[in-house]
Structure 1
C-alpha cells in the first residue's frame, strides 16, 4: 500500500488526508500543535469547494451546518447597495451557492471523516527531503513516504525545502479583525461594506451567532489597545447593524492579525515526491473568500493525480487556476485599500453602474471561480446530489 505523510492538520491537510485514504493510501498526518483548537471565526464554503467535498461524501454534512439567506453583496459605509444578488441566483447558475459556517465546525467534520489513528498531534516537522520523501520530526523520528503533502500554511517549512529561493509571504498592507457575536434580535444578512480603506463584513451563522470581520490599512505589526474599541472607533458610525454588532461583541473574543500573501507565485506545486496544498502553495488575500476553497480543490485534485504517480499533473491542473484567483483577490484587496475620496467615489460608481447595467454581474463575474468541477473520475466515484 502506498504511504503518504501530510504535514499540517488544517483544512487543506485534513482534506488531502481524507481524499488519499479514500483512494487506498496509508496516511499519517503530522500536526505541530498539541491539540486542534477551535478558532473563533466563520468560513465561506463556495460552490466549487462544495462540489469537491461532495466527491468525498462530505458536502451535505457541511451544508447542514451552514446558513445563508437574503440579499448578498457589497454596500457603502452608509448602507446603500453597490451590488448584490441572492443565494438562489448563484445556485441557479452553479448548482450550488455559498454557505457560511463556523471554521471549528468544518474542522470537526474533517477530523471525524479522517478516522482514528491517522492524526498525530504535537509532531513538529524539522526537515523534508522533497526528492526522497523523507520527513524528519523535531523529536528525531524519520518517516519515508511515497508522497509528502506540505499543508503547513503560509509560513510553510515544506515550501522552503522545495523552493529555497522563493521570497515567501509579504504583508498585504491591511490588518484584519475577526469575531463571533450573538445575533439576538438583529436582522442580518451576508454583506460586505466598503469605505475609505476599510471593509466590514457580516455573515449570519447557524444558531444564534454572527461572524463579523473587518480590515483597515495599517503599518505591519501595529500595536493597538482594546481591539473592540478600535473597531468601534473605526466603524461605529457605519450603517446598522454594524454598530450594534460591535456593541454586542465580547472584547476578549476579537482576533486581529496582519494579512500576508504570496505576492510572487511559485513556479510549481511539486518537486520530487512532495506536493504543496493550500496556503503553503498559494496563500492569497481573503477578499474572494477562496483561501479554504482552493485548499479543498487542491486536496481532491492531488488525490486524483497522485494515484497515477503524476505530481506534474497536479501542478498542471492547479498552478494556472490558483494564480488567476490569487491575482483577482489581490486586485479586490487593492480596491478596498483606496482612501482618496475621488478614487473611492469612482470605485463605488463603477460597481453601482455595473450592477445597474447587468443585474447578474456580481454572479457572472465569479464564473471562472465558482464554475469549477472536480476531476471526472473523482465525481464518478460518488453518487451525484439530487
Structure 2
C-alpha cells in the first residue's frame, strides 16, 4: 500500500501508536487533533502485560520501563482496608511481561516524540466521495484528498458520527475521578478498595506518589462535578488514606472527572475509513484495557495495510479483532456491574465472598489475554 495518503483523526494514545506502527512499516500519515495543543493526558495510567507486549512490539518497552513503576502483586480490600484477597503477578503467563503504572503525561511524551506531521485545533467537518477521491473538509477551513482515513478520536468519535450508522454510546450510570497524590506511608503495591456501589484504587508510581482512581454509582450524574471536599465526604466510610488523597487535589494535582461509558463494536470500517481504540470499542476502565486494546488495534491494522490494499486489509482487521475486543468490553462491563452489587447488603456479602474465594477477577482475565497472541493471525 505504498504511496497512499493516510489521515489519522485524533492524537491520543491510539492515533500516536498507529502513526508509529505505520512508520515501522514504511508508511506515513497526517494527524489532525481537535485540541489546540496536545490533548490533556490525564493523571495516571495502568499497563497490564498485554499493553506492555504491544509497546515492546512498537519498540517502546525500555523507554516506558524507565518512567514506570512495576508491581508483583495486587490486593483487594474492603473500604475500611481489611484485606479480601491478594494475587501474585509473577506466575505464568503474567510473568512474560511486567504490570506497571506511570503518569499519563510521561507515556504521551514517549509516544509523541518524533511526530511532526500534525495539525492542532483541527477536526473533520465533512467527508465527501467525489470522482477525484475522498475529500475531507476541516474546521480550520482547510481541505485535502486522502486515500484512507482512520478514526482514533475517542469514544465520542467525530469520524464515527460523520460516516458510520448509529452506534450510540451507553452511559453505565457510574462516574469516575482520577488524580495524583503523595502518600509515602501507604503500601507500595496496587490496592483496590471496594465499598457499596463505589471503589477506590491506589496505583504506586514510586517514591511515595500514587495514581488514584475513584468511582461511584451516579445514575443522574449528580456527583460528576463534585468538589474534592464533596468527594471526600462521599468516600468518608473508606480508610483514612482516601480522605488524605482527596485533600491533595489542587492546581498541582488536578482532578479529572468523567462518566463511565461503553460502546459495543459494530462497524469496524466503512469503505476506506476504519476505527481503532475507543472510537471503536470504548469500555469501562475496570480491567485496565483501554490502552492495551488501542495499541493492539494499531499494530494489527498497520501490519495489514503494509501487506494488502485496504479493500482486503479492513475486513481482515475486523476478523482478527472482533472477538477479542468484544469479549474485553463485555468482561469490563460485567466487572463494573459486579462491583455495583455492593449497593445492597446481600449483594455486598456475595461480592466480597466471591473475592475471598476466587481471588481478584482481573488477574484471571489478564491471564486469558496473555495466553493469546493478538498478532498471530496477521498473515
Tell me the SS of whatever aligns to 2:15: helix
Would you say the 8 A contact 1:268–1:319 is kept in 2? Answer: no
Q: Distance in 2 between matches of 1:326 and 1:124?
A: 27
Q: CA RMSD in A?
A: 2.4
Corresponding position: 1:140 with 2:144: no
CA apart distance, 1:40: 4.0
Instruction: Quote the residue 2:121 is aligned against.
Output: 122
Per the alignment, do residues 374 and 322 of structure 1 end up closer, same or farther by CA in structure 2, a change over 3 Å counting? closer
Would you say the 8 A contact 2:176–2:216 is kept in 1? Answer: yes
CA apart distance, 1:302: 0.7
Q: Distance in 1 between matches of 2:74 and 2:257?
A: 25
CA apart distance, 1:370: 3.0
Instruction: Quote the residue 2:349 is aligned against.
Output: 345
CA apart distance, 1:361: 7.0
CA apart distance, 1:71: 3.3
Corresponding position: 1:311 with 2:310: no
Gaps of 5+ in 2: none
Instruction: Quote the residue 1:384 is aligned against.
Output: none
Corresponding position: 1:336 with 2:335: no
Per the alignment, do residues 94 and 149 of structure 1 end up closer, same or farther by CA in structure 2, a change over 3 Å counting? farther
Greater mean alpha carbon deviation, residues 57-66 or residues 129-138: 129-138
Q: What is the TM-score with the length of structure 1 in the denominator?
A: 0.88
1:26-45 equivalences under 5 Å are: 26-45=28-47
Would you say the 8 A contact 1:4–1:26 is kept in 2? Answer: yes
Would you say the 8 A contact 2:49–2:94 is kept in 1? Answer: no
Q: Distance in 2 between matches of 1:130 and 1:366?
A: 42
Instruction: Quote the residue 1:3 is aligned against.
Output: 5
CA apart distance, 1:48: 0.9
Corresponding position: 1:325 with 2:328: yes
Q: Distance in 1 between matches of 2:122 and 2:33?
A: 5
Tell me the SS of whatever aligns to 1:367: helix
CA apart distance, 1:156: 0.6
Instruction: Quote the residue 1:51 is aligned against.
Output: 53
1:194-213 equivalences under 5 Å are: 194-213=194-213
Instruction: Quote the residue 2:161 is aligned against.
Output: 160
Gaps of 5+ in 1: 380-386
Q: What is the TM-score with the length of structure 2 in the denominator?
A: 0.90
Q: Distance in 1 between matches of 2:236 and 2:42?
A: 22
Q: Distance in 1 between matches of 2:61 and 2:165?
A: 37
CA apart distance, 1:171: 1.2
For residues 351-372 of structure 1, what are the alpha-carbon distances to aligned partners after superposition, in whole Å with 9 as ceiling and x for unaligned?
21123xxxx9763343232334
Would you say the 8 A contact 2:124–2:138 is kept in 1? Answer: yes
Q: Distance in 1 between matches of 2:192 and 2:348?
A: 15
CA apart distance, 1:44: 0.9
CA apart distance, 1:139: 2.5
Tell me the SS of whatever aligns to 1:203: strand
Per the alignment, do residues 139 and 169 of structure 1 end up closer, same or farther by CA in structure 2, a change over 3 Å counting? same
Greater mean alpha carbon deviation, residues 204-213 or residues 249-258: 249-258
